[in-house]
Structure 1
């Protein structure tokens, strides 16, 4: 069963794909993989930006999580328009536009730092995230259908592994450029005197790289994918829309909970490891530990690209979600090194969640795949709302109790893997 998409540019007739030679997608997949690396790097810089701006502007946890609200809130507001845009202009042009918008957002960090206004940083993040949203909406379904449908989860997992490479490197560079300038997270008066303009150079560089990659991508010949219609004719009617598919609707909730849990944990690792009963680390040392959280996800995704060809993706998803919930509970109930390592190991369990939930949710949507992709990317707003709620709980009850919120998210993912992802009439794997 194919994971087809709507494309405005027609290619060969549908039956040509059945009789002619199979297209070679290696170069196209390699080009798109660079996108995953870049937005992983940019997204994970928020884990460093949050404690940095929290200290400089003397923010509460809830106020600091406005960074996540603006960044991931862009997914909620822009994903559906982005899905419609991609349907109209095609995947390649959608990606190119996404790079340009994201570059503009990165360049806006310069005036925000010059003015030393927290609200301007939030605005720049929203523009940056809007560009990344467009990239996500275009690239995820493109990778899912760029090859045999039975290996869609494995293929998306492999590209997500390079996304994790970006998330692994970002904390190291962010800690060196930003957190190294903070003497302590607990000395607000000293931190507030630090020059916030240290963020200018990293984000100017990011903007330049985004434009460069956009230029290079414009010269790469990405194949157009012809929409499949066989399955749609059997299950679709003129009145059917993407949200009429049960596996998609429940998958939207799955993406919401996964992203919310992953971001809530990653955004607060620095502050969590600074707690006296955990490790009592200084900002730079704690920031470097964040790379282990995302590095574990990278290792898990490379391993997952192999394991997902051997085991049921839905069952492997449930297994990983159980592991994530158990590790968070261990961290909550322990202190010192055990509390630290068990929380960092959650990254390993997170590894395959996005690349498995995404194709499970899109399975069988036919011509509604692009619309479904937009809905799924809208659910990334979980990275805005769950951390905000996490911050409110942390402000009132502490970081340990707030970690129970990701546990609830992982329990839903367990259910989705075992039950929620099943489609009517489909045979359970």
Structure 2
């Protein structure tokens, strides 16, 4: 226990190379397990949001479009965190402080949500969700890139998909809870809604406690200097170019925006889709079906992560993204169990897309890794844009179609196709594939671990490049270290 709870340092310089540049699988297990808990937390929060979306429509008698304000508040907060306060903390202090900051905001937002739910204030609850979104956006700003860089680079896609599978489990638990708590008594929806307040109070208590655990836990800080070393070792680094010319990063960000928007829109409209297209389906049954679909989503991540052990991640990425397009299209015209099954399969194939875009998009960024990760996570803001478009399209079909939400599924189909452009480039454009494949085959952290470790070469000290940003380059720093 003495090794787990020891002296804490909350500020780290990105100008220093550390042992974290060549972490082995064993060395990365504890911090990765701790960070994986965070994925369950925001999966649970996201699942609650999808369930509450439909419940607010019933309880407060509001339109589909207005209820999508929940998604707009939640995902609209992400760019503020990933490009603003959280990314600033990440670049100036390190990962640990961002984990603690994100948990703090998550807890505060949950406490504010408590009275808002009690007094049925939709506007107040949207404000609480905005704060929670800032907290979860902060956590994602740190956790997603951390999973890709904490450990051997060749296993980055597997690590992040396994961790994200627990996010999927959280999205399953929330609708199940909703079906037995929020919708347990359809004759008194208001009383059912009040039960949600205790869920948010429990969340607040848990995340504050988890923030304390993170403070006392030794989390290896992976610096931009470490990432520059990895980029040079693989001969696939692009950080010698100005940040503005990191075209692969911006393409990944665009794909993340389109894909996440489509994913959130489908999940947010799932209960509406089920009640409209499947005769005899009430809100509680719709929530249970959503839990089943999210179960397919979680299972798909475990399957995808397993396949990546034997097949190049970019190939799995191509198949899964293509299948999303293939199966969402029939849901527009199909009804009943056939339409529901199409959404089930779509969610299965959605599973690995988000984390794989993060992992592939960060390849070769080197000293721009932390800054670049903020852009990719900012792509999550698509979840604030696409759902309102889908619900507005559904509202426009009222009286014209027996299943307005089904017709509106053409909206996420269009955004899936836009995101597909990145998938094609990663697999068929040499400028993309060379970088991705170089990292997938590297032996850093697998063979001769810490062979270039500055601590080993200096008897325990950490070499710092005092001139980075003022004349010397990251590559010159590594060359200097090798001569020591």
**TM-score above 0.5, yes or no:** yes
Which string of whole-angstrom CA distances, capped at 9 and with x for unpartnered residues, describes residues 103-161 of structure 1? 00011112212432211010000001100111000111111011111111111001001
Name the counterpart of 1:212.
Answer: 209
Distance 1:151 1:45, change over 3 A: same
Name the counterpart of 2:263.
Answer: 262
The alignment status of 1:273 with 2:280, answered yes or no, reads no
Distance 1:368 1:12, change over 3 A: closer
The partner residue of 2:89 within 85, 88, 91 is 85
Which string of whole-angstrom CA distances, capped at 9 and with x for unpartnered residues, describes residues 186-245 of structure 1? xxxx75x656433211111111111122222222211122433344797435x822x421
Cα offset, 1:283, TM superposition: 1.0
TM superposition score normalised by structure 2? 0.80
Q: Figure out how many residues of one structure are paired with residues of the other and give that number.
A: 413
SS at match of 1:182: coil
Q: Which segment is superposed worse, 382-391 or 226-235?
A: 226-235
For 1:54 and 1:173, how far apart are their aligned partners in 2?
Answer: 18
The partner residue of 2:410 within 399, 404, 413 is 404
Which string of whole-angstrom CA distances, capped at 9 and with x for unpartnered residues, describes residues 261-299 of structure 1? 111111111111111x42431111110111112111111
**Unaligned runs of at least 5 residues, structure 1:** 1-6, 184-189
For 1:21 and 1:344, how far apart are their aligned partners in 2?
Answer: 37
**Unaligned runs of at least 5 residues, structure 2:** 1-9, 398-403, 438-484
CA RMSD of aligned residues (A): 2.5
The alignment status of 1:24 with 2:30, answered yes or no, reads no
Whether the aligned pair in 1 keeps the contact of 2:113 and 2:125 (CA below 8 Å) is yes
Name the counterpart of 1:9.
Answer: 12
Which string of whole-angstrom CA distances, capped at 9 and with x for unpartnered residues, describes residues 61-103 of structure 1? 1101000000000012222111111111210111011101100
The partner residue of 2:431 within 419, 424, 427 is 424
Name the counterpart of 1:37.
Answer: 40
Name the counterpart of 1:283.
Answer: 283
Select the structure of larger CA radius of gyration: 2
1:171-210 → structure 2 map (5 Å cutoff): 171-183=175-187, 196-210=193-207
1:346-357 → structure 2 map (5 Å cutoff): 346-357=346-357
SS at match of 2:329: helix
Name the counterpart of 2:477.
Answer: none
Distance 1:217 1:334, change over 3 A: same
TM superposition score normalised by structure 1? 0.90
Whether the aligned pair in 1 keeps the contact of 2:105 and 2:134 (CA below 8 Å) is yes
For 1:260 and 1:113, how far apart are their aligned partners in 2?
Answer: 26
For 1:306 and 1:155, how far apart are their aligned partners in 2?
Answer: 10
Name the counterpart of 1:240.
Answer: 242
Which string of whole-angstrom CA distances, capped at 9 and with x for unpartnered residues, describes residues 288-320 of structure 1? 111112111111111111111222222322211
For 2:239 and 2:363, how far apart are their aligned partners in 1?
Answer: 13
For 1:351 and 1:16, how far apart are their aligned partners in 2?
Answer: 32
1:94-133 → structure 2 map (5 Å cutoff): 94-133=98-137
For 1:354 and 1:172, how far apart are their aligned partners in 2?
Answer: 23
SS at match of 2:195: helix
